[in-house]
C-alpha cells in the first residue's frame, strides 16, 4: 500500500477546492508542489518527501538508489545549524526488496555518497537526519566524494547565500566509458557498471548536478557531469561543466520544464 503523507492529503483537499471553484465558474489552477520542484518534476513520476525538509527524491528500485534528488536552498545563512550526526540507515519507506542496506556498502571501497548533502539541510535535526537515509546515497569514489564533489556542493551553498533562491537537482548517471564529451550522435556504445553488496546496489559511472540560481534580474543555470572516479590532479569541478541539454540526453530527464520555453532554451545552453 503506498504511503500517505500530509502533503498527499493537502493536495487532495486542494483538488477538491479546485473542482468546487471551477464548477462555480472560477478559472482552474494547479495543486501546490514541493518548493524543491517548483520549476518541474524531471520525470513526472512519484516523489518521496521527508517531513518539512527542503528536498525530495525520485527512487529507482532497479538500481537501489535515487534516480534524482531535488533541493531548494533559501537565500542567506540559516538561523540555526545542527551538528552532523552520521546516522546512516535504510529508508523504511522503500519496499524491502528494492532497498539498499548498510551491508551493501560494507568493505565495498565506496563511500555512501550523499545526493542531497547533509550540510545543505542543517537547519533542522529531522531534515539533516533524513539526508542519511540510504535512499539519498549512491556508491561514490572516496577521493571524489571528499574532494572535488565536496567543493561543488560548497559552491552551491555559496551561490545560494547571495541569490534570491537556488534549486539543485543531483543524481547518478550510467554512461558508456567512451561517451563523447559533447557529441551525442556517436552510435553503438555500450554501458557497463558494477553493483555492490547482497542487494546489488548500482555503482554509477558518473554523478551530475544542475543548478538554477535566481539572481536579482534573471536566473542562471549551471550543469556538471563528473566521472565517478578519483579526479586527475589539478582538476576542479568547473572543468566538468556541461550543456544542460547534453546532460538531459544522457540521464533521460527534462530539467526546468516549468520555465517559459524561451527562457528554458536560453538557459540550458548557457554554461561556463
Longest dimension (CA), the chain: 65
* Three-state secondary structure call for residue 14: helix
Q: Helices marked H in 51-198 — which ranges?
A: 102-105, 125-130, 142-146, 148-162
What is the rounded CA–CA span in Å between residue 95 and residue 1?
10
Place of cell 540560481: 213
Element (H, E) at 17: helix 6-23
Task: List the catalytic residue out of 46, 114, 200, 249.
Answer: 114
- Closest among 184, 167, 156, 191 to 70, alpha carbons compared: 167
| CA 7, 8, 9, 10 torsion-angle sign | positive
Which residues are CB-neighbours of 67 under 8 A, at least 6 positions away? 43, 45, 57, 58, 59, 60, 171, 172, 253
Is-catalytic flag, 200?
no
The sheet with strand 206-214 has its strands ordered as 48-49, 55-60, 65-73, 166-173, 206-214, 219-227, 241-242
Element (H, E) at 99: none
What is the rounded CA–CA span in Å between residue 212 and residue 219?
7
Active-site amino acid positions:
114
Amino acid at each position: 500500500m503506498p504511503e500517505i503523507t500530509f502533503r498527499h492529503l493537502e493536495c487532495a483537499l486542494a483538488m477538491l477546492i479546485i473542482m468546487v471553484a471551477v464548477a462555480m465558474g472560477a478559472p482552474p489552477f494547479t495543486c501546490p508542489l514541493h518548493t524543491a520542484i517548483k520549476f518541474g518534476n524531471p520525470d513526472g513520476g512519484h516523489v518521496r518527501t521527508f517531513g518539512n525538509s527542503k528536498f525530495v527524491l525520485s527512487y529507482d528500485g532497479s538500481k537501489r538508489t535515487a534516480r534524482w534528488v531535488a533541493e531548494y536552498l533559501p537565500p542567506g545563512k540559516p538561523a540555526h545549524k545542527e551538528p552532523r550526526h552520521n546516522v546512516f540507515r535504510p529508508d523504511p519507506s522503500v519496499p524491502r526488496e528494492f532497498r539498499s542496506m548498510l551491508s551493501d556498502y560494507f568493505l565495498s571501497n565506496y563511500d555512501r555518497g550523499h545526493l542531497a548533502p547533509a550540510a545543505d539541510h542543517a537547519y533542522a535535526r529531522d531534515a539533516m537526519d533524513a539526508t542519511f537515509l540510504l535512499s539519498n546515497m549512491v556508491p561514490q569514489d572516496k577521493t571524489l566524494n571528499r574532494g572535488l564533489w565536496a567543493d561543488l556542493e560548497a559552491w552551491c551553498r555559496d551561490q545560494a547565500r547571495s541569490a534570491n533562491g537556488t534549486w539543485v537537482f543531483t543524481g547518478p548517471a550510467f554512461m558508456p566509458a567512451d561517451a563523447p564529451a559533447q557529441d551525442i550522435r556517436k552510435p553503438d556504445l555500450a554501458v557497463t557498471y558494477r553493483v555492490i553488496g547482497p542487494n546489488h546496489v548500482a555503482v554509477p559511472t558518473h554523478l551530475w548536478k544542475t543548478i538554477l540560481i535566481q539572481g536579482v534580474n534573471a536566473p542562471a543555470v549551471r550543469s556538471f557531469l563528473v566521472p565517478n572516479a578519483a579526479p586527475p590532479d589539478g582538476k576542479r569541478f568547473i572543468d566538468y561543466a556541461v550543456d544542460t541539454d547534453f546532460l538531459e540526453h544522457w540521464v533521460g530527464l527534462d530539467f526546468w520544464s516549468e520555465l517559459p520555453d524561451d527562457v528554458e532554451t536560453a538557459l540550458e545552453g548557457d554554461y561556463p
